[in-house]
Copies of this chain bind each other. A is one copy, B any other.
Amino acid sequence: MTAQLWCFGESGNAYKAALTMELAGYDWSPVYVDFFNGASRTPEFRALNEMGEIPVFREGDLTLTQSAVIQLHIAEKTGRFQGSDRNEVLRWIMFDNHKLSAQVGTARFLMNFVPHDKRPQSVIDYLLGRLKPVYKTLESHLEGRDWVADNAPTIADFACCSYLYYPEPFGFDRAEWPNIDRWLEAISALPGWKHPYDLMPGNPSDRAVKEDT
């Protein structure tokens, strides 16, 4: 049975689930959510996920939301990328979710996907200031290590990396963080790795074309 993932290319949170499935060789297909035209704010989407968030995973009767829950489900079902210590894997997923992705995702959204005249610069500056120590924690942690939570890649790597491959500016420059840069290279060298814009439907250039025509 092919699993379905409601997602869109710009969503780093969806990428965590999609990348885990892709690298684990899971049978899945994407269902495009036209987020930028309000598709996640409809009653139909709310019926699918009362939290109104992407991604949503469905496989037969099973519906899961929250990327971490989907990642754990795939890892447990396939035996891939679980790591040797559930607590260590989960604590980096938690760190990613509340400290890294939550703030990177918001900063990138405000800096790129909001009309120029509606970008709240003081909020952006605040988020970018709070993100520096987060990158620093990750950079220090990766000193002398290949992977975030084990001596092999785990779902914690696929959570923490999720927003860091995007090309739009969000105050992050790989060249400033050599350990993070090396680690991102290593993840993208894994067999089957794909960039979020190649793995999931939708990306900013689609919209640029649409808005131009």
A128 to B118, CA, bound (A): 17
Given the interface pairs A50-B140, A50-B141, A97-B97, the reply to whether A90 lies near B66 with Cβ below 8 Å is: yes
CB-defined contacts of A102 to chain B, threshold 8 Å:
98-99, 102
A123 to B73, CA, bound (A): 36
Which of B52, B99, B133, B137 interacts with A137 by CB under 8 Å? B52
Q: How many copies does the complex hold?
A: 2
A69 to B87, CA, bound (A): 6
Q: Which of A115-166 contact B (CB under 8 A)?
A: 120, 122-123, 126, 133, 137, 140-141
CB distance from A57 to the nearest CB of B (A): 10
Q: Which of A86-104 contact B (CB under 8 A)?
A: 87, 90-91, 94-95, 97-99, 101-102
A interface, size bucket: 20 to 34
CB distance from A19 to the nearest CB of B (A): 17
Residue A39 CB within 8 A of the other chain? no
Complex: chain B residue closest to A89, CB-CB: B69
Please provide the 5 A-B residue pairs with the shortest distance between their CB atoms, ordered closest to farther.
A66-B94, A66-B91, A122-B122, A97-B98, A98-B102
Give A residues with C-beta under 8 Å from B. Answer: 50-53, 64-69, 72-73, 87, 90-91, 94-95, 97-99, 101-102, 120, 122-123, 126, 133, 137, 140-141
